């Protein structure tokens, strides 16, 4: 039982029913219920961590054979939710059928132990809507999407794209703003238009100016969930108003991010700053390899879960490379060092 009482518990149960399609409800339910999940801090990502899933090369193992093990790995680490087929999750390197298979594998293993946000972003609206419909059918808790990529589209096109995704599934929707990769930056004008859509429950803010988090949070209001995106600024993002985080390097050192969040909640900001510096130094080292994707997968492999190598054009990292072995050992040492913090 949470400290929020029976009323909040009923809301969360109602949300769970609404998410799996077994109960009806007006769109006005979405934001208040997402707030309850966020406020509990244990139910949704709730200022815990949303993790990226990493895909297995189907030529190396049977189709996505490592997804169940990876999902269980994160559950055992204490992770409360997953962000499936995102940027680090190589979602754009999979076709639609493969992405659906990944979602199904994650949900089958996670059951009710984790909340699942499915990234359904695609270059075209039709396929994104299809993935959103499938996410609801598979039992996901929410969807998320970047704007259309490759083509430099205007705000009206992006507005219609995101709106079509929200109409395709009866699920909360999280805007994914990552202008570094999409060449599209979410303006306050478009953001305010999207706020009129009751299914828009939050935004994953991966734009690099930290004050964007503050602007989105202030405009969205208390019920609106803002995820910090850049891993190097997790602490800064939380202090600027982010409710939670979704990041690409969380999967390679989940215990450190969980500890960082714990320190923030306890108000031990000086220690949190020390840990953020450690994490950021590890991120720089991850990015020094031929691909961060390959480095993250190798770190996880060294920790006991083989999920294969990334798909081309991302390059693999040899697990015998002394630099990756040293990085893995340093991460594990940091985990042990900070356990008593």
The domain ranges of the chain are 5-248, 253-341
pLDDT at residue 106, as a whole number: 97
Q: Distance between the two ends of the chain, CA-based, in angstroms?
A: 26
Q: What angle do helix axes 5-19 and 30-40 make, rounded to 10 degrees?
A: 120
d(CA 97, CA 24): 28
User: Which helix (H) or strand (E) element contains residue 300?
Assistant: helix 292-302
For the chain, list the strands marked E by DSSP: 49-52, 81-84, 115-119, 142-145, 173-177, 200-205, 225-228, 244-247
pLDDT at residue 173, as a whole number: 98
Task: Give pTM, 2 decimals.
Answer: 0.84
pLDDT at residue 312, as a whole number: 96
pLDDT at residue 59, as a whole number: 45
Q: Mean pLDDT of successive 10-residue segments in the chain (341 residues)?
A: 31 29 30 41 35 45 74 96 95 95 96 97 96 98 94 95 98 97 95 98 95 97 96 97 96 98 98 98 98 97 95 97 98 97 96
pLDDT at residue 46, as a whole number: 32
Active site residues: 176, 204
Q: Which fold has domain 5-248?
A: TIM Barrel (3.20.20)
Q: How many CA atoms lie within 13 A of 140 on its CB side?
A: 33
């Amino acid at each position: 039982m949470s400290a929020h009482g029976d009323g909040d518990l009923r809301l969360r149960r109602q949300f769970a029913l609404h998410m799996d399609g077994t109960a009806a409800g007006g769109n006005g339910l979405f934001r208040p219920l997402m707030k309850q999940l966020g406020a509990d801090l244990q139910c949704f990502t709730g200022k815990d961590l949303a993790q990226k899933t990493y895909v297995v090369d189907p030529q190396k193992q049977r189709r996505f054979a490592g997804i169940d093990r990876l999902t269980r790995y994160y559950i055992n680490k204490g992770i409360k939710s997953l962000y499936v087929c995102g940027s680090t999750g190589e979602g754009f390197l999979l076709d639609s059928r493969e992405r659906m298979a990944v979602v199904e594998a994650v949900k089958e293993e996670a059951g009710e132990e984790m909340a699942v946000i499915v990234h359904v972003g695609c270059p075209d609206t039709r396929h994104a809507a299809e993935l959103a419909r499938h996410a609801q059918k598979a039992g996901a808790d929410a969807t998320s999407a970047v704007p259309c990529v490759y083509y430099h589209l205007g705000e009206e096109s992006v507005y219609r794209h995101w709106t079509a995704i929200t109409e395709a599934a009866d699920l909360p929707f999280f805007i994914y703003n990552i202008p570094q990769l999409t060449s599209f930056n979410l303006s306050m004008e478009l953001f305010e238009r999207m706020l009129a859509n009751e299914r828009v429950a939050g935004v994953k803010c991966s734009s690099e100016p930290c004050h964007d988090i503050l602007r989105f949070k202030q405009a969205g209001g208390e019920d609106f969930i803002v995820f910090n995106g850049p891993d190097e600024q997790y602490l800064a993002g939380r202090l600027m108003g982010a409710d939670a985080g979704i990041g690409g390097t969380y999967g390679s050192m989940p215990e450190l991010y969980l500890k960082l969040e714990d320190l923030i909640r306890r108000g031990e900001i000086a220690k949190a700053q020390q840990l953020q510096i450690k994490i950021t130094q590890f991120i720089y080292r991850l990015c020094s390899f031929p691909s961060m994707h390959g480095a993250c997968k190798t770190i996880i492999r060294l920790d006991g879960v083989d999920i294969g190598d990334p798909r081309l054009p991302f390059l693999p990292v040899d697990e015998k490379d002394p630099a990756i072995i040293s990085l893995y050992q340093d991460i594990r040492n940091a985990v042990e060092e900070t356990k008593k913090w």
